[in-house]
Each structure stands twice: as structure tokens, then as C-alpha cells.
């Protein structure tokens, strides 16, 4: 059995007198060309982070959702020559009930992880750094200032 690890630090600007809150999350594995999550209620979220990981990942995939949000590519980390982790963020976001997320690309079926956050300012992406590795016990994500 082989384990792949990914470490990502994203620093958000937080609304005054507030703490970042996890509103909801979901994960879904996909088929050969796409993955779509089940519907969740993202009401109250001010930022949504998507992480996609897959073998033979064509990193030029397309991230969409059922609320027609705009997704910004944060970073792509190649774990091996055929395995990648891709991160997107949406903010500001249209949120609500029945919210689904889809990542479409060519290659092996991706895994899609969604994290909806509350109390994040509308321009949330302050700094980011990360790293991915295969078969390691520790990983260094890099520094931010």
C-alpha cells in the first residue's frame, strides 16, 4: 500500500472580530473523466476550497459548481510524474442548499474534496504555499511571511 501526502497552507483575511468557521464539507471519488459531489448546504459560507487529486491528472481540468461560481486556481503540486494535487478557491461565492461541485478532465478518476468556510473576507487569498510527496513520513509545505 502506498500513501500520498499533501500539505497546503492558505492564509485568509478574516472578517473583523470573527474566527474562520467550517460550514460544511464533502468528498467524492470519480469516474474516468469527471467527479460530481452529492448536494450539500453551503449557506453561510464566504469561501469554498476545492482539492482534486488523481493519477494521470491532466491539470488543465475544469472546476464548476451548481451555483455558477468562478473558481480560481491556487496551485498544482505534482506528487509523482503521474499524480497531482490541484487546489481551487471560490470567493465571493453564491451559496445555498442543493450545492454540488464538479471537476472535469481527462485521465484517471479524480478525487474531489470540498471545504466551505465562513467568516472569510471577500478577498480571501492572502498567501499560500504547499508541497506534495510520495511514500514519506513528514512533509515540509514551505514558508510564508
How large a percentage of the chain has pLDDT more than 70?
60
- Evaluate whether 103 touches 110 at the Cβ level (below 8 Å): yes
Q: What does the alpha-carbon distance between residue 115 and residue 111 come to, in Å, rounded to a whole number?
A: 14
Mean pLDDT score, 64-74: 93
Is pLDDT of 102 > 60?
yes
* pLDDT given at position 3: 37
Is pLDDT of 12 > 60?
no
Name the average pLDDT for the chain: 76
Mean pLDDT score, 106-112: 73
Q: Which residue has the higher pLDDT, 121 or 16?
A: 121
Q: What does the alpha-carbon distance between residue 112 and residue 133 come to, in Å, rounded to a whole number?
A: 18
pTM of the model: 0.76
CA-based nearest residue to 131, from 121, 143, 141: 141
Amino acid at each position: 500500500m502506498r500513501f500520498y501526502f499533501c500539505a497546503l497552507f492558505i492564509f485568509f483575511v478574516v472578517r473583523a472580530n470573527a474566527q474562520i468557521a467550517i460550514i460544511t464539507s464533502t468528498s467524492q471519488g470519480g469516474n474516468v473523466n469527471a467527479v460530481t459531489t452529492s448536494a450539500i448546504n453551503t449557506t453561510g459560507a464566504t469561501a469554498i476550497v476545492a482539492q482534486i487529486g488523481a493519477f494521470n491528472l491532466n491539470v488543465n481540468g475544469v472546476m464548476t459548481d451548481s451555483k455558477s461560481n468562478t473558481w480560481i486556481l491556487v496551485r498544482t503540486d505534482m506528487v509523482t510524474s503521474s499524480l497531482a494535487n490541484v487546489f481551487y478557491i471560490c470567493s465571493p461565492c453564491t451559496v445555498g442548499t442543493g450545492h454540488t461541485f464538479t471537476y472535469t478532465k481527462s485521465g484517471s478518476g479524480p478525487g474531489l474534496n470540498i471545504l466551505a468556510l465562513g467568516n472569510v473576507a471577500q478577498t480571501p487569498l492572502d498567501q499560500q504555499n504547499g508541497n506534495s510527496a510520495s511514500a514519506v513520513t513528514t512533509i515540509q509545505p514551505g514558508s510564508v511571511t
